[in-house]
Structure 1
Amino acid sequence: MAAPPVDEKLAAPLSTPPILPSTLPPPRTNRFTDSILDVFRSFQDRRAALGLSNPGTVDRIAHEVQRDVLLNNITFSGLRAELNKSFSISPLFQISHAFSTGSQYLSPYTFLALYGTDNFLCQAQLDSDSTFSARFNTRLTDRLTFKSNVQMSPASMGGPGASQLSLEQDYNGADFTAQLKSVNPSILEGSLTGMFIGSYLQSITPRLSLGLEGVWQRPGAEDLPNAAVSYAARYRSDEWIGSLQLLTQGGLQGSYWRRLTDKVETGVDVNLQFAGLNSAAMMGGMKNEGLAVLGAKYEFSRSIFRAQVDSQGKIGCVLEKMVAPLVRVTFAGEMDHWKNAAKIGLAVSIENSSEELMEQQDKISPASPPF
C-alpha cells in the first residue's frame, strides 16, 4: 500500500520565534563592568520581588504618635476665633482671619492666604506683630519635591528681630526616601555657614525600615563646625507601629502606636537625654533627664477627643466638636500638678463656603498640594 502524502507545512520543522529587541540582553562591552551590572540587576530584581513600600521620612518616623495622638501642635490657651473663606477647591484657594486673646504665644490677629494645585503650594501669613512667614512647595516630578520656607520678625521690646530661610528637597523612591534640608545657608562671610540636615530611610522588609540622619552646622565664620549623626528604625505590624531614634550625642527617643478599635488610638512617646558626657560637664557629674508621655485619641461621629499625661505630672486634653456643618468648637485644658498651674483655651472656627462650592465638592476631587 502506498504511504499517504505528507503535508509539507506539517513536515517542516518549527521555526524559532523571533526575539524582540526589548528582551535582548545588553551588549557585552567589558568583563569588569558587565559583572558589576549583572550584580546590580540581580540585586534590583531581588529588591523588586520583596514588594517593599515607601517608608516616609525620618522626621515623620513617629507622626502617628507625635502628630496624630499627642497634643504637641494642638493645645493652646486663651480665646481664639477663626473665620475661613474658601473660594475654590480645584485649584485650592482660601483665606483665614484669626483673632486671639489671653495667650502669650498667639498674636491678637493673623491673616493667612493659601493657593495650591496638585503641583505647587503657595501660603503666606501675616500677624499684627508684623511677623511674616511664607512657604512655596512645588512637585517637580512624581518623586522629587522642593520646599522653601521664609520667616521674618521685626525687632521689638522682647528682643531683636530674626529671619530664617529653609530649603528642602525630598526624593520619594519606591522603597526609600532621601531628604536634604538647609537652614540659613550662606557664603557671604567667606565660608559656608548655616545648618544642613541630610536623612535617608530605607525599607528593609515589608515591616522594618532603617535609616540615618546627619546634621552639620556652623553658626558663623568664626565658629567651628560641628556634626552629629543619628540612627532610626521603624517597625510596622498589622496592629501597632514602633519607632526608635538613637543620637550619638546621648539621646534616645522611642514611640509606640496602637489602634485599639476603629475609633480609639493610643500612643506612648519616651525621650531620654544623657547629659554630662563631655569633659566640661563631667565636673558636675552625670545628669540624666527623661520624659514619657502617654496619650489616647477617641473619634466620635461629630467630635474628636484627645488626652495625655506625662511623667512630670502634667495632664492635658483637647476636644474638637462640630456643632454645625460649618462651625467647629475646640476646648483645650492643661493642668500641671508639680507647678500648681492650669491653662484653658476655647476656640471657635467658622467656615464660610457658598452653596455652589459645596455642590462642587461632590462632583470635583479637591486639589492635593505638596504640603
Structure 2
Amino acid sequence: MAYPGEKNPAPSAFTPYLDAVNGLFQPMTGPVMNTYNRFHGWKESMGLIQPGTVENLTREISQVHLANWAFEGARADVSKVVSGSPAFQLTHSFALGSSSKPSSYNFGAVFANAQTLLQGGVDGSGVVTMRANQTWSATDVTKVQGQLYNKPGQSMLQIEHDHLGPHYSLSLKTMNPGLLDGTGIHFVSLLHSISPRLSLGFESIIQHPQPAILETSTSYLAKLTSLPNPYAALAATSPTGQPLSAPFYPSWTATAQLQPSGNIQATYHQRLSEKVDVALDFQTLIQPASMMGPAKREAICTAGAKYDFRMATFRGQIDSNGTVGMLLEQRFTPAFAFMVSGEIDHSKNTSKFGVGIMIESSTMTQEEMIAAGMLTPVPGP
C-alpha cells in the first residue's frame, strides 16, 4: 500500500514466487496469526504494563537501604571528567584499612553514549574488572561482566541479555559458560504483567559446574504496585514509531519471592514525596540440621528511609536485630562532597564508622558542562 503521492514499487522477478509461497502457507498461518492478534488485543484492553526485569525487582529497596552504600574506615574518590558527550571519566578510589577490610586502591574508567556503556578498573592487587552494556533497541540490551584474578580458578565471566516486551521481560544469563560441554551457571527469568498492578514471574537456576553434575532450582516472584500513570506510556515509542509500554514509577511497590529452600523475601517501597522514600525488607532463614550446622529458623526485618535535600542525601535504617545505621552525603559544591557512615549493632555491642570525600574535576568549561546537563545554569539577577 502506497501513501498519497507515493508510487507503488514495481514488482520484482521474485514476486510471483513469493505470492505462491504465501498462498501455500496462508491456510495454516492465517488462523494462527488471527488468534495471536485477538489475544494481543485482549491483553491491550486490560491495560497491562511493562513490569521491568527480575534483576531490578528490588532496585528501589537497594537505593534506600545501606547494604550497597555503607562503608568502614576512610575513603576518597577522585574523578576527572574528560568529556561530556560522549561521557568519558577517570576515577581514583582510595580506602584506608579497617578491622574487616585492608587498604586498597582502584583505578577506573567509564565511557558511555546513548547505546554503549564501557567500564573498567584495576586494583592494587592486580584484579581487573570490566562491564559493558550494549543497547540494541528499545527492547533489547546485552550486558557483559568479567573479573580477572592472578590466581587460577577465580576469574569470572558473565553474559546477560534482557528482552523487554510490551507486557513482560525475559532475561537470560550465564556465568563462566563452557562452550563445548555446556558447563557453568545459567539463569532464566521471566516477569509478566497479569493486571495493571500485579506481575508474576519466576527465576530458574541451572548449575552445571561439571559435565556429570546438574542441579536446577526455581524461585517464584510477585510484584504489586500502585495504579500506573496513563500518561507514562505516551513518552516511549518503539524504533518504528509505535507506542511502547514503558516502566512507570509507582508511588508504592510491594514484592515477594519464594526461594527453592522455602525461604521468603518480601519488600515494600513507598515514595512519600519527591524527596522522601521509605523501604521495608523482610527475610526468613529456614535451614534444616546438616553437616554444615544446626537447624535455623530465623527472620529479620529492616526498615529504612532516604531524604534528599538540596545539597545533601541522608539514609538511615534499623533492623529487628537492633542494628542502627546511617549515611550522610553532603555536597558543598558540585565538585566536592563529604560522606559520613556509621553503624551500631546493639545485640553484639559492636560499631562501625567511616568518613570519605568525593572530588570531581573536569577539563570542560562551565558552558560545556551546562550544555551536557552536568550543571544547572544559575539565573541572572
TM-score, L = length of structure 1: 0.83
Tell me by how many angstroms 1:27 deviates: 7.2
Q: Are the equivalent residues in 2 in contact too, given 1:209–1:234 (CA < 8 A)?
A: yes
Secondary structure (helix, strand or coil) at the match of 1:61 reads: coil
Q: 1:281 to 1:46 in 2, by over 3 A?
A: same
CA distance in 2, matches of 1:248, 1:137: 30
Q: Are the equivalent residues in 1 in contact too, given 2:83–2:364 (CA < 8 A)?
A: no
Tell me by how many angstroms 1:170 deviates: 0.8
CA distance in 2, matches of 1:69, 1:352: 28
CA distance in 2, matches of 1:236, 1:142: 23
Q: Residue 233 in 1 paired to residue 233 in 2?
A: no
Aligned to 1:242: 254
Q: Residue 37 in 1 paired to residue 41 in 2?
A: no
Tell me by how many angstroms 1:60 deviates: 1.3
**Matched pairs, number:** 330
Any unmatched runs of 5+ in structure 2? 1-7, 9-21, 228-250, 375-381
Secondary structure (helix, strand or coil) at the match of 1:165 reads: strand
Give runs of aligned pairs for residues 98-113 of structure 1, distance below 5 A: 98-103=93-98, 104-105=100-101, 107-113=103-109
Q: Structure 2 counterpart of 1:79, which letter?
A: A
Q: Residue 196 in 1 paired to residue 192 in 2?
A: no
Q: Are the equivalent residues in 1 in contact too, given 2:97–2:103 (CA < 8 A)?
A: no
Secondary structure (helix, strand or coil) at the match of 1:290 reads: strand
Give runs of aligned pairs for residues 1-371 of structure 1, distance below 5 A: 33-65=29-61, 67-103=62-98, 104-105=100-101, 107-155=103-151, 162-187=154-179, 191-222=181-212, 224-237=213-226, 239-276=251-288, 281=290, 287-356=296-365, 358-364=366-372
Tell me by how many angstroms 1:29 deviates: 5.5
CA distance in 1, matches of 2:28, 2:89: 59
Q: Are the equivalent residues in 2 in contact too, given 1:193–1:218 (CA < 8 A)?
A: yes
Residue-by-residue CA offset, 1:198-253 (whole Å, 9 max, x unaligned) = 1011112221111111100022234x211011111111115321001111321211
CA distance in 1, matches of 2:316, 2:340: 12
Q: 1:360 to 1:283 in 2, by over 3 A?
A: closer
CA distance in 2, matches of 1:285, 1:319: 39
Q: Are the equivalent residues in 2 in contact too, given 1:57–1:177 (CA < 8 A)?
A: yes
CA distance in 2, matches of 1:235, 1:270: 16
Q: Structure 1 counterpart of 2:200, which letter?
A: L
Tell me by how many angstroms 1:106 deviates: 6.2
Tell me by how many angstroms 1:187 deviates: 4.5
Residue-by-residue CA offset, 1:90-137 (whole Å, 9 max, x unaligned) = 101000011110234465211001111111111110011111101122
Q: 1:144 to 1:105 in 2, by over 3 A?
A: farther
Secondary structure (helix, strand or coil) at the match of 2:218 reads: strand
CA distance in 1, matches of 2:292, 2:369: 64
Structure index of larger Rg: 1
Q: 1:283 to 1:64 in 2, by over 3 A?
A: closer
CA distance in 2, matches of 1:364, 1:51: 37
Tell me by how many angstroms 1:286 deviates: 5.1
Tell me by how many angstroms 1:179 deviates: 0.4
Q: 1:207 to 1:226 in 2, by over 3 A?
A: same
Secondary structure (helix, strand or coil) at the match of 2:78 reads: strand
CA distance in 1, matches of 2:256, 2:210: 32
TM-score, L = length of structure 2: 0.80
Aligned to 1:8: none
Aligned to 1:10: none
Which range moves more in the overlay, 265-274 or 341-350? 265-274
Tell me by how many angstroms 1:33 deviates: 4.5
CA distance in 2, matches of 1:283, 1:342: 28
Calculate percent identity across the aligned residue pairs: 34
Q: Are the equivalent residues in 2 in contact too, given 1:71–1:317 (CA < 8 A)?
A: yes
